[in-house]
Amino acid sequence: MDGQKIPGKMVAIGIAGVAVLLLLISSFFSIEAGDRGIVLRFGEVNRVVDPGLRFKLPVAEDVVHMTVRVQKTTTKTEAASRDLQNVQTTMVLNFMIDPLKAGTIYSTIGLNYNERVIDPAVKESFKAAAARYTAEELISKREQLKTEVQHFLRDRLGVFGIMIVELSITDFEFSAEFNRAIESKQTAEQNALRAKRDLDRIKVEAQQKIASAQAEAEALRLQRQVISKELLELRRIEAQMKAIEKWDGKLPNVTGGAVPFIQIDKLQ
């Protein structure tokens, strides 16, 4: 009989030992870098622990892991511009959980903070900012629009302990009617630019012709100034010299009248 009781006690002790060992093992847990451990005692947040090997009360406490790394969420949204044009866009938000507020976020929002807080805030911020711009300004002033949306999100999400890292806005999508209007406007602007270039070219050519005509007129004016009395006298003397060179030394055979007289001083 005694021989049969001893094995039973040993089994019971062994089972108890294993149970204690498992209980001890389950009392320890580890948190990876970039995470925080939300320790729940009977379902309520008791404390938040940093990365490393930690201890918890067995049975009474559970641990929820929450990342505090940079996360990304993509939100498709639409809004109306100041000139009442419907516009759709996709906004990509990089954010992170404030490690000091991880417990509060879990208590008030939970782990699905994207659906509950972030996406609605992104949609609301875009609608509020887009209403200040016309449809064309949404394209030309995208950086300014993005800055306004980021400021709105920092104020809106900061109270929850969600920090904004970066926001990106993809291409806008407008209605087919608006796209046709934009294409028509661009075509008109291109035609106007082409007409302006042609007009500038015509003006340049006209100015070149005017400059050429003015140069010719100036040349003629200078020539007229050169034709002075002295030049006319020189030309007359040159004509007389040519006449003397052609004279054969005989006086004209005439009766009556005066004999032609040549001024020697002028010949000299």
Distance CA 133, CA 126 (A): 11
pLDDT tens, residue by residue, 129-183: 999 999 889 988 999 999 999 999 999 999 999 999 999 998 888 877 775 666 6
Q: Contact at 8 Å (CB) between 14 and 21?
A: no
Q: Contact at 8 Å (CB) between 132 and 82?
A: yes
Distance CA 221, CA 109 (A): 94
Domains and CATH numbers, the chain: 10-67 (no CATH), 71-178 (3.30.479.30)
pTM exceeding the 0.75 threshold for the entire prediction: no
Per-residue burial over 192-228, b if 16 or more Cβ lie within 10 Å, else e, is eeeeeeeeeeeeeeeeeeeeeeeeeeeeeeeeeeeee
pLDDT tens, residue by residue, 216-244: 776 776 666 666 666 667 777 777 777 76
* Residue found by looking up tokens 């980021």 in the block: 150
